[in-house]
Amino acid sequence: MKKTVVIDVVGLSSNLIGKHTPFLEQYIKDKNLGAIAPMLPAVTTSVQSTYLTGKQPTEHGVVGNGWYDHMDSEIKFWKQSNKLVLAEKIWDKAKKEDPDFTCANMFWWYNMYSNADYSVTPRPNYLADGRKLPDCYSEPAELRDILQDKLGQFPLFQFWGPGANIKSSRWIADASMITEDLYNPTLTLIYLPHLDYCLQKFGSDFDKISKELGEIDELIKDLVTFYEKKAANIIILSEYGIVPVSKPIHLNRIFRENGLLQIRIERGLELLDAGASKAFVVADHQIAHIYINDPTVTDQVKTILENTPGIAMVLDKEGKKKYGMDHERAGDFVLVAEPASWFTYYFWLDDAKAPDYARCVDIHKKPGYDPVEMFMSSKPRAAYKLLRKKAGFRYVMDVIPLDATLIKGSHGSINTPAEFHPVLITDQKLNNSNVQATEIHDLIWKALKR
């Protein structure tokens, strides 16, 4: 099979390619530039799973970055086992045809315990005293040590949170090139998250994101130059474009006011008890899953949704079938926000009673996605917390604000203007300038077979 590399530049859309991305602006002149029709839900784990399987969430089961586990009665976000993807991945298909085929998965999601030959993914080291140290997980295990010896510790706190910046994407790019030289994989999948941060924080405000665009452009140039010397087929794509937003929707608060949520009080702070709630919302950018534990409130839930501004689509079972979301993991209803709106997970009515994790970067405890984790409420407060850390005292990095209006960009919907559609840049001739997400699998396969 032909050596192929797929570079996933998160958030890249055609409206961003121009004077601030000089390499990409020149590069696309000799390539086929297309767009990928936004799929539902247009969020990282679902889109990547579709790209790698050619299937919709109905078949591969990844209905969002997180969902409600009915068996555990828990909301779970950002899990990492590849077994959660319930369809054949492209590397499994390739191995059946070519026993010499190998794959390197560099930070695409659900990266643990797959049949990919080489892989690296974020994996913090949680110590017994409560500390969280930057680290990563790899297969083979020694690859982690090789990479961190050469590149330094994986910059976890620059991968997500208030400190997110180009350092994490640079580390991933450098790690990918080292892995290429070590193992010579047939297929390499590279994830560059950099634009995700600034676009959700600032939208398409070029006064604030031009530097970020230049940084990712330079990084793409380095990767393309490197892999061209390896005579690899190169595919550059993104999972979604990020549209301007200004209207957060606090559906769990509305459900609470209507007596549907069960709230527990612990140490004076409030926690959402999903298993004991009559109905609740799992928010994921511009998508929300409504789970109903008590069927008698279904009509009440419908009425609430019909009267809540900012909701563009309410998908019942037939709607979920139509849009490829009919899977047992999905909510009883799946909501899509209007273009300028997005869904928060917030369920408290008084900030003084918000759970302790609300003011922390804590992607696994929060019962929904929280983009406000990219902001910092107070730099002096953060500095004080870091001083406590250095002095050896216990500390909690509770520096995240509770103001959802800070967010200026979001994604997840299929109802986005064409200039915000995810891009596709390839040598291959495109029969349609607006490719379906399920077709990306076949496009990668064709590149491998050239």
Beta-bridged to residue 122, according to DSSP, are 136
Residue in the structure block whose two tokens are 């209803």: 333
CA distance 242 to 107: 20
DSSP category for residue 389: H
Residue 203 tokens, joined: 């939208």
Residues in a beta bridge with 236: 7, 425
Q: What is the pLDDT of residues 258-292, one digit of tens each?
A: 999 999 999 999 999 999 999 999 999 999 999 99
Give residue 25's pLDDT band: very low, low, confident or very high (50, 70, 90): very high
What pLDDT, on the 0 to 100 scale, is given for residue 387? 54
What b-and-e string marks burial along 297-317, b requiring 16 or more CB atoms within 10 Å of the CB? bbebbeebbeeeebbebbbee
CB atoms within 10 A of CB 8: 23
Dump pLDDT digits (tens) for 79-129: 999 999 999 999 999 999 999 999 999 999 999 999 999 999 999 998 887
pLDDT bracket for residue 72 (50, 70, 90): very high
**DSSP-assigned beta bridge partners for residue 237:** 8, 424
Q: Calculate Rg over the CA atoms of the chain.
A: 22
At 370-410, the pLDDT tens digits run 999 999 876 655 554 455 555 454 556 678 999 999 999 99
What is the pLDDT, as a whole number, of residue 384? Answer: 44
Q: State the Cα–Cα distance between residues 446 and 93, nearest whole angstrom.
A: 13
- Please, what is the average pLDDT of the chain? 95
* pLDDT tens by residue, 224-241: 999 999 999 999 999 999
Measured on CA atoms in the order 118, 123, 128, 129, is the torsion positive or negative? positive
Sign for the CA dihedral angle at 147, 151, 153, 154 comes to negative
Q: pLDDT (tens digit, 9 = 90+) per residue, 182-198?
A: 999 999 999 999 999 99
What's the rounded mean pLDDT across residues 429-447? 93
Residue 369 banded pLDDT, cuts 50, 70, 90: very high
Residues 340-364 have a mean pLDDT of 97
Give tens-digit pLDDT for 40-52. 999 999 999 999 9
The pTM of this model reads 0.95
DSSP state letter for 78? S
User: Is 43 within 8 Å of 368 (Cβ atoms)?
Assistant: no
What is the spatial distance between Cα 103 and Cα 265, in angstroms, rounded to a whole number? 48
CA dist., res. 300 & res. 296, Å (int): 8
Total Cβ atoms within 10 A of residue 101: 18
Q: What is the pLDDT of residue 392?
A: 52
State whether residue 422 is helix, strand or coil.
Answer: strand
